[in-house]
Chains A and B, each alone.
Chain A
Amino acid sequence: MVAKPGLDGHDRGARIIARTYRDAGFEVVYSGLHQTPEEVVQAAIQEDVDMIGLSSLAGAHMYLFPRVVELLKEKGADDIVVCGGGIFPEEDIPKLKEAGIKEIFTPGTPLREVVKWVEENVKPRSS
């Protein structure tokens, strides 16, 4: 699932990512703009996704991203992998990873790599 939490209204990047995964053979749920972390998690659970890709360009990632991880844990759904993409200060990246975000992609990452990372690191969950 590709999601845009928070107030940031720029989803061109998120759409390109969604489209890229589609072209790589993934089923991508796009949840739209202005989602609260609670909404993102609820949608991910209803859709039973393997991974959530969060996009943020507006600077609130230090709250939004860890909050999604936290809520997944609360709901017993922490087997869902969370990744992030967007513009982040260099020093935030290790902190985000520490908070449970598995990988962070920043501008300039080739689309091929974004797909490859998922193919190598996200295994479809079995029942």
Chain B
Amino acid sequence: MIWRKDVECLPVDKLRALQLERLKALVARVVERVPFYTKVFADAGITAQGITSLDDLPKLPFTRKTDLRDNYPFGLFAVPLSEVKELHASSGTTGNPTVVAYTKNDIALWSDVMARTLACAGAVPGDVVQNAYGYGLFTGGLGIHYGALELGATVVPMSSGGTKRQIKLMHDFGATVLTCTPSYALFMAEEAADMGVDTRRSPLRVGVHGAEPWTEGMRREIEETWNIKAMDIYGLSEIIGPGVAEECQAQDGLHVFSDVFLPEVIDPDTGEPRPDGKDGELVITTLTKEALPLIRYRTGDIVSITHEPCKVCGRTSPRMSKVRGRTDDMLIIRGVNVFPSQIESVLLEVEGAKPHYQLIVDRQGSLDQLEVQVEIDEGVFSDEIKVLEDLERRIHRELESVLGLSVSVRLVEPRTIERSVGKAKRVIDKRQL
């Protein structure tokens, strides 16, 4: 079903007119209310009145993740804190976390785009939604939650983990929709098999999977083992959380809810627009958000976009491809965003010297594993095993608390870690994605 036919199926000319009208209002609002934007727009010599067409969009300045960090915690908000009803934050050690905020209307918008998302994936009012995305500061859990309520579904706020319990309640409550990372869907299927639960005979009909990269092969495996349709979902906290784009039954690209989140694809090096069908960095402008409106936010995700109308569902919105990579060195491990710089700063703190390290990412069974290999040089070496084991434990504990993710730590000999032309190759990703 299409949750908001009025906007999701708008004729393209009307959609563009709506986007332009919203863009002009947005620029006027941020220039007036957010000192950061007052300055960058003045520097660029652009005013809201100067925007007469969507073709002017590429002239507007970009916003980057560093801008959010530099203005930590509330510097980019366009409303007083009294109007902010919810705050979320990403993990972060190098500098500050990324803080995102929602007004009452923003929560309503989030509920709306997430209801659209679930409906687009094939959920209907009355469905029982088992939500196995993490609740808390991570936006995944609550975003799905709000959307399921808006849709008129019954939501089971499982959060992540506790797999045996997930499977029991899923069976006993008769879940029809499962929302979780794709790797967790596969892991659950393995656990279910061990418990003697026949996953193919459950009432489950739809899986909504995202927050990490996955392949068509994984999709087939999930669909096969659970006997469901497995749908890709896209979003990021800075824009709203989950609810930016979703696949329809065609499973041929994710419909971007472009009446509120205006997408562009650019060359990450030059900043120039990329044509339809060509890979580039996804850039999004939040057209109606109140608390944290962002102009041309650089997502760091590599995608392509097509504006060709979808032949299957009738939505007129542009469709984006699956995320094909990143412009930076961010890793996604079991749905958690990890930057090598976070790990480096933990090691620096524990060891007290610039560490040599390497990150080995692999998928064992269906779950991602991150191994941090730390070189032991004379500065930290001890002839006593207990001192080395203590070092290993401290690194392990600090990494877990900073990343919010369980990792394994291995102490290795120097030079074990490959150096490539003066610069160490920090990440080895063995996952087949």
Tell whether A pairs with B.
no
Give chain A's interface residues, CB within 8 Å of chain B. none
